Amino acid sequence: MEQGQHKPKEPWLAVVLSYFLAGVGQIYSGRMRRGIALVLAELAFYFLLIWSLLSPKCDILVTGGPLLALVALRIWNLFDAHKCARKTNTQDFETARKQDKDPWLALFLSRLIPGIGQIYIRKWFWGIVFIAVAAVLLVVGPKDPLLDAGLGAVFAAFACYHAYASAPVRRETSNRTIFIVAVAILCLSLLGSSTYLTKAHVVEAFALSADSMRPTLMRGDKILVRKTRSYAPRRGDVVVLRPRRHRDTVYVKRIAALPGETIEIRDGTIYIDKREVRCPALNNIEHQSAGSFGIESQPYTVPQNSVFVLGDNSANSQDSRHFGPIPQSDVIGRACKIYWPLDRRGPVE
């Protein structure tokens, strides 16, 4: 079959599709093998990026490799998608296409920044309105992450649809394609803007503002904290927690005793169920008169579903000796690595 007998492909629609996921625009343009290869390549880079972030032993600088490769792939992929679609078209179609403002280019521009697509098609008023609303959402959104994810996704999808629908010329004979694209933008915007879900269930960054974990962690260190519902506390783990009595404060401490264990601090040594703990980070505990928890030479039994935590800098630490055992539900996650400053990067041990 000759090239001219093929149904024309919209180059900027191919770009929009490949903006969703590398390779989809190429598949739309009929380059099936090329498209599948790009899809698999992007997914592989995402996997490597997530693994390098969550793996304690992986140097944080290694994360830069998959990240740069992913950015380069996504940018090159957009140009390639446009080229692949353009090559399938006749010269007559391409000449006619360039004579008017392209509705799919308007959509793509508003996908990048809401309102820019409207300005491209000279809908100045609507362009300014969409840009202003986007700016308001950018300022207000962080105050309510869930509202930001939902409202922001709906706004992004509507801005793109409006840019397409407002274009002076549309070559599609039905609204099926734009409907599918708008729904895809809505779904992917929900997924992309759900940093709240990522922070709540996968990984979150924290910065240390105290010296209670010296020398393991220093003031100003920035750490990644891995979260999982199936986390089982282990003695020696460094965890981030938010005690119920101090909800406005986040603490970083080391687990010294587990649920049901009896802990005793005597002459700087920790004893669990009358056995000495041999853990370098839990040695040479400096006694503090801190109330009824962890009193020198007095055994204390940790309640079920709770842990007893201490700071590595035990002489200058607010920990379970002050506020008691921590319910496991108050543990945010386990600190896995330092990512900043770079000269201190590495696993938290």
Q: What is the mean pLDDT of the chain?
A: 86
Across 59-63, 142-146, 169-173, least confident range: 142-146
Same domain as 141, residue 13: yes
Q: What's the total number of domains in the chain?
A: 2
Q: In this predicted model, what pLDDT tens digit does every residue of 252-276 receive, in sequence order?
A: 999 999 999 998 888 888 889 988 8
Same domain as 155, residue 214: no
Residue 289, pLDDT score: 57
Q: In this predicted model, what pLDDT tens digit does every residue of 174-225 receive, in sequence order?
A: 889 999 999 999 888 877 655 555 655 677 888 888 888 988 889 989 998 8
Backbone angles phi, psi at 337, to 5 degrees: -160, 155
Same domain as 213, residue 156: no
Question: Is residue 3 scored above 70 in pLDDT?
Answer: no
- Please say if 212 is a catalytic residue: yes
Same domain as 34, residue 147: yes
Same domain as 169, residue 22: yes
Same domain as 265, residue 161: no
Give the closest residue to 306 by CA, choosing from 214, 213, 223, 244. 244
Backbone angles phi, psi at 123, to 5 degrees: -95, 75
Picking from 199, 234, 262, the residue at the C-terminal end of a domain is 199
Q: In this predicted model, what pLDDT tens digit does every residue of 274-323 receive, in sequence order?
A: 888 888 778 777 766 566 777 777 888 899 999 999 888 888 888 888 88
Picking from 199, 227, 260, the residue at the C-terminal end of a domain is 199
Q: In this predicted model, what pLDDT tens digit does every residue of 109-163 receive, in sequence order?
A: 999 999 999 999 999 999 999 999 999 888 876 666 666 677 888 999 999 999 9
- Please say if 253 is a catalytic residue: yes
Q: Are 349 and 237 in contact (CB under 8 A)?
A: no
Picking from 168, 199, 230, the residue at the C-terminal end of a domain is 199
Q: What is the DSSP letter of 5?
A: G
Question: Is residue 4 scored above 60 in pLDDT?
Answer: no
- Which domain range does residue 238 map to? 202-347
Per-residue pLDDT averaged across 43-62, rounded?
84
DSSP assignments along 47-85, one per residue:
HHHHHHHH-TTS-GGGGHHHHHHHHHHHHHHHHHHHHHH
Same domain as 186, residue 220: no
Same domain as 162, residue 16: yes
From the candidates 189, 193, 194, 253, which is the catalytic residue? 253
What's at 53, amino acid-wise?
A: L
What's at 74, amino acid-wise?
A: R
Question: Is residue 38 scored above 70 in pLDDT?
Answer: yes
Residue 1, pLDDT score: 39
Same domain as 135, residue 31: yes
Same domain as 235, residue 194: no
**CATH code of the domain covering residue 234:** 2.10.109.10
If you count them, how many residues does the chain have? 349
Angstrom distances, CA of residue 39 to CA of 27, 45, 172: 10, 10, 26
Gyration radius of the chain over CA positions: 28
Same domain as 8, residue 132: yes
The more confidently predicted of residues 45 and 146 is: 45
Residue 2, pLDDT score: 42
Residue 86, pLDDT score: 95
The more confidently predicted of residues 244 and 1 is: 244
d(CA 60, CA 153): 31
Same domain as 118, residue 43: yes
From the candidates 212, 314, 317, 320, which is the catalytic residue? 212
